[in-house]
Amino acid sequence: MNALDRKLLRDLWRMRGQVLAIALVLAAATATFVLSVGVYGSLTETRDAYYARNHFADVFASMTRAPRSVVARVGEIEGVQRAEGSIKQFATLDFPDRNVPVRALINSVDEFGRTQLNQVTLRAGRMPHPGEAGEVVVDEAFAEANGLGPGDSLEALIYGSRQRLDIVGVGLAPEFIYSIAPGDLIPDNERYGIFWMGRRALEAATDRTEAINSLALTLERGASQEEVIRRIDRILDPYGGTGAYGREDHISHAFLDNELMQLDAMTRVIPPVFLFVSTFLVYIVLGRMIRTERTQIGLLKAFGYSGRQIGWHYSKFALAIALVATLLGSLAGIWMGQGMTRLYAEYYRFPFLYYHISPGVFLAASGLSLGSAGLGALGGMRSAITLAPAVAMSPPPPPVYRAGAIEALGRRAGLSAIGHMIVRHIARWPGRSAITVLGVALSLGLLFSTMQFMDSSRTMLDSFFFRAQRQDLTVSFTEPRNEDVLFGLAQIPGVLRVEPTRAIAVKMSNGNLIERTAIEGSAPDSMLTARIDSSGAEIPLPVSGLMLSRQLADQLQVGAGDAVHVEMLGGRRTQRMLPVAGIVDEFIGARAYAAPQTMEALARDRAPVASALLRIDPAARDAILTELKEMPVVLGVTERDAALLKFKQMIDDNLFTMMFFYVAFASAIAIGVVYNSARILFSERAHELATLRVLGYHRTEVGIVLLGELALLVVAAVPLGCVIGYWMAQLMTAMFSSDLFRLPFAPSRATYGYASLIVLVAALATAALVALRVLRLDMIRVLKARE
């Protein structure tokens, strides 16, 4: 180890506080990068491996009823690699100890274990035996939520008939990584389950011998998905086909893809903030270090060290910080990534989900840290290289203060001598002061932009669950019914109001832009449901034409007054050009609305009731649920309060975890910036502070000189941080929104206050550490001066 390397180690130890503060900021960038990229990569690799191993289909289609021979016809389409038909049947499960109907989706499987699409992975037990009626495999999430396993039995209402289901296995399938009941927003594993039954047994239970109502297929490489879908629709039209769709529109895949998109957005937004701050911190600290060691630099050059060697020596100081940051950040990122992976495993069901980080992630993270530190070191390197020995070995000229605008403003403001010293020093180093203000402001902005997601979630919940959904219960039926069913529900004791609703699956197009969605309708005098826009206003249904959500209108690139082509999926396959009567700016989904007469003209049937909204007497809840459970026409019941509780739980689990991480990250920035600023101020003003002590100033008065300057800079950073946070939150809200939901930007004043308070506390605690040095100031050592 040569002399410069020994000096480097001594410098790193002597400045360990500042080194650690900068390393914390860089480590936060590294941790965020490792966290987001690692989880993104783990989820993506797990998903792709699961899809490939279990042959997840590329295209899906449903129909009312088709002969099994249609599978062979679809398989002959150019570009289709393999096609497979199956039966999917909704059922109602009977849990004797519950009064709430539990829904299930039963899927047919090939009992002989041949290669098939959307293959089931057994977690326990076995597959159903051929021809054994009632043997089923249950989805793992439903089994865990309800304490079920091989050997248990359930009573189910399938296709109008009661049947006993004997559970012989527990499994998973790539088609239901995220299993959500129709009409729900989030999974409810206690009330909705996925089952698999042998093909012949389910054919017998649903009276579909050698018939199917669902189709899945994989495509050959290079095949045109659009052309294949067009030809499938043509084949399935006579059998009540509801329109084929690609994997991107599959609900389970869409939710998982949305989560991956948010992780990618996190990678692109958060780390640059930390890297930007750490670059300037290295620049300031290294610049101050070189100014302090100018005599040593002169001596080193006099002894024959070249400017390149000295410049490399100081570069290694910055690179050492980056290496420490990479190590700390990588460890923190791995720990946080493991926690996030466990959280995702609760909502996304994989047979395996391991948090795996490739070496390339760590190399990229270290490259970012080294690049940031190296960029910050360039200014200091240049001054060290160009410093002449003769100039370096002479004492630096003292700063010159002249009376100017600051002095005039200070006199008018009635500042004391200490106050003059504070504002004069800030004005003497405007660039460094600005960097301190900007660094603290960025930490506040990052913290606010994260915390405001809580406000966004509350606003979305209030809009959807309280303003738009005013019912207590939503009753779904096994199939659309006529109005007679409403009178039956109204006769149940405790039911205060009943209203019908209906949703029709359609395909909307504007030119070559095509979207699958549903048109929803409700009674003209509806009191239990409403359309609430982002401003909180209630939008009435149009008398004629369609009302589109903002998301759907943007996807189709239409506005009020334009017309869209609407094709009903299933039923009579009605096709019409309908005008867009209005746009509603909603937060959830891409949906359309229409008045009952428009719905009737499209459906052209006598079954306008697909589900019913009920307002009930809370005291009669249990009795009402028990009676609904016994009604054969009822498929399921959704309680608004239960759905709201599940939604809140999911948001809390996700947001509170992320909030913990980002409070730590934002605090790291504030600590790094304030600590380094305080140490630099102390080293520069130690002589002045000691002189003030000799002149009779008290320790607290001397401490105010140091802390007062920091306080002014931090206070100045608060409004700037709020502005930065406002725009950063706007950006993050837009990037985290998707086709499934759009987060509102609705920050509360309290969020500004909490974010400011956290940053101020972190800054105050950090400054207090440096203030202790003022109290222990060695005046004799500090006042020694070299002539």
Quick: pLDDT tens for 363-417.
Answer: 888 888 888 888 877 776 777 777 676 665 666 666 665 655 656 665 666 666 6
Mean residue pLDDT of the chain comes to 80
Higher pLDDT, 496 or 590: 496
Could you list the beta-strand ranges (E) of 361-489. 473-481
pLDDT at res. 218? 93
3-state SS, one letter per residue, for 723-759? HHHHHHHHHHHHHHCCCCECCCCCCCHHHHHHHHHHH
Residue 593 pLDDT more than 80?
yes
Q: What are phi and psi of 268, to 5 degrees?
A: -85, -15
Residue 776 pLDDT more than 70?
no
pLDDT at res. 107? 92
With a CB cutoff of 8 Å and minimum separation 6, the contacts of 273 are 29, 442, 445, 446, 669
Quick: pLDDT tens for 292-331.
Answer: 676 777 777 777 777 788 878 778 888 888 888 889 888 8
pLDDT at res. 787? 42
What mean pLDDT is predicted for residues 198-203?
88
Alpha-helix runs per DSSP H in 293-388: 294-302, 307-347, 359-386
Q: How does residue 701 score in pLDDT terms, banded at 50, 70 and 90?
A: low
CA-CA distance, 420 to 774, in Å (whole number)?
19
Residue 779 pLDDT more than 60?
no
Instruction: Report domain extents, the chain.
Output: 1-61+247-397, 62-246, 469-643
Q: Which residue has the tokens 């940031």?
A: 372
| 3-class SS of residue 716 | helix
Q: Which one-letter DSSP state was computed for residue 178?
A: S
Q: What is the pTM of this model?
A: 0.77
Sign of CA dihedral 272, 277, 280, 282: negative
Instruction: List C-alpha distances in Å: 620 to 363, 489, 639.
Output: 62, 14, 14
The answer to whether the CB of 449 falls within 8 A of the CB of 729 is yes
CA gyration radius for the chain?
A: 34
What mean pLDDT is predicted for residues 90-116?
81
Percent pLDDT > 70 in the chain is: 85
CA-CA distance, 642 to 649, in Å (whole number)?
11
Other C-beta atoms closer than 10 Å to the C-beta of 391 total 12
Quick: pLDDT tens for 399-411.
Answer: 665 655 656 665 6
pLDDT at res. 67? 92
The answer to whether the CB of 56 falls within 8 A of the CB of 121 is no
Residue 694 pLDDT more than 70?
no
pLDDT at res. 196? 93
CA-CA distance, 426 to 399, in Å (whole number)?
13
Higher pLDDT, 244 or 262: 244
3-state SS, one letter per residue, for 263-317? HHHHHHHHHHHHHHHHHHHHHHHHHHHHHHCHHHHHHHHHCCCCHHHHHHHHHHH
Residue 600 pLDDT more than 80?
yes
pLDDT at res. 777? 56
Higher pLDDT, 232 or 347: 232
Residue 20 pLDDT more than 90?
no
Higher pLDDT, 773 or 629: 629
DSSP H or E stretch at residue 192: strand 192-198
End-to-end CA distance of the chain: 34
The crossing angle, in degrees rounded to 10, of helices 640-694 and 749-775 is 30
